[in-house]
Amino acid sequence: MSAQLPAIQSTSTSVQNYTTNVLDRNRPNLEDLNAENQFQQTDNIQTLTLHRGKIFEELIEAFQKHTFHYSCALKIEMILPNGETEYAEDVGGVFRDTLSEFWSSFYEKCSVGTNLKIPYLRHDFNETQWKAIASIFLKGFTTESYIPIKIAPVFILSCLGCAIQDEDLIQNFLHFVCESEREILRQALLDFDNVDSDELLDIFSNYDAKWIPTKTNINLFLRDIAHKELIQKPAFVIKCFGQVFQTHSRISTSEIMALFNNIKPSSKNCLAKIHLQNANETTPQITEIYGYLKKFIKEVDDSTRSAFFRFCTGSDLPTRDIYVSIINTTGFGRVPIGHTCSGLLELPSSYENFVVFRSEMTNILQSNVWVMDIV
């Protein structure tokens, strides 16, 4: 793939502290803005105003009340916690950041599970809310190739009306349970005679098992429990998602399943998306700083790689390419700048060594006070 830099008027991500200035008297209060007056449409562009800290609730409300066409661009205008409008013109980056924030909140508020999750029924969510969430899923998939990869694939397959293989059910369930349970269940599958029977029975009792597991029935036993937890319990949500998915003819089961592997924030997937701008015009200093970045990506965990991609592209998953430009800055100006719409990352050239680079990059990714503005 060519590492040619796209044309830019982009949104950049820099590190600043939010101010707490008194709101402009002419600026509407947060309570005055609702899904009715937040939405505008002109030609093939739909514009939506959201508030940081309320993205989850406001995006669901907007998708309940308005039709978002998959062929139309969706531009997001973001209001900061202090009531000021974020200085960013959305050319894709702010929407990707919105998707990242939405699904991160969804995992916390509407799902159960560890490595893989499934939606759980909330008393305050009815059919319209779940269908709105399904529409958000489709909008992210069709426009940004973004899907919430922590949702169990067998759940999505069920929403698409696909048959589920027993092995897929079991493997998804092993990543649904906690790590300690996962190790016991894996041992039971591989070497039942030597598994701790008390711990195994304790695990199955947590899932209301009606049988006693044995060496001969353990696979069938585990499959049935996995089906109950991953398919039967969220059956109402599967029905709601399925009704939305069926209305969209362009959705591809094979494409969605491929994305589950291709956009995991592994070091391999992430490094494949990172390119050096003007690679034919390098210097030893540029090569060294670029090497620091690649080493950093290899060493850190998935959550840090997700934060890095969100800083650079808006998406917390490696769905887009990043183009690295090494710039000459020193002192307080030595701060990486991510242009989320174009995927351009500007890295200072003045890092003394890898340890300094790693320390400063980690501090930025953990700061959680990124502000977007136009450059």
Domain-located, residue 80: yes
3-state secondary structure of 302: helix
Would the pLDDT of 22 be above 60? no
Using pLDDT thresholds of 50, 70 and 90, give the confidence band for residue 68.
confident
Contact 121, 239 (CB under 8 A): no
Tally of structural domains, the chain: 2
Looking at residue 234, its pLDDT comes to 98
Looking at residue 371, its pLDDT comes to 58
Average pLDDT in the 136-147 region? 93
Average pLDDT in the 308-334 region? 91
Higher-confidence position of 225 and 67: 225
CA–CA distance, 267 with 64 (Å, rounded to integer): 37
Q: What stretch of H or E contains 118?
A: strand 117-119
Amino acid (one-letter) located at 289: I
358: domain CATH number is 3.30.2410.10
CA–CA distance, 111 with 117 (Å, rounded to integer): 6
Residue range of the domain that includes 360:
267-367
List pLDDT tens digits, range 83-108.
888 876 666 788 999 999 999 999 99
| Alpha-carbon distances, residue 8 vs 5, 12, 90, 132, 298 (angstroms) | 9, 11, 12, 32, 29
Q: Tokens 């001969």 map to which residue? A: 216
Looking at residue 24, its pLDDT comes to 36
> What are the structure tokens assigned to 331, written together?
């002192």
* pTM, 2 dp: 0.85
Mean pLDDT of the chain: 86
Domain-located, residue 206: no
Domain-located, residue 105: yes
Share above pLDDT 70 across residues of the chain, in percent, rounded to a whole number:
85
Domain-located, residue 169: no
Contact 339, 325 (CB under 8 A): no
Domain-located, residue 202: no
Domain-located, residue 211: no
Choice among 176-180, 223-227, 338-342, 354-358 with the minimum mean pLDDT:
338-342
3-state secondary structure of 180: helix
* Strands 370-374 and 73-79, bridge-based pairing: unpaired
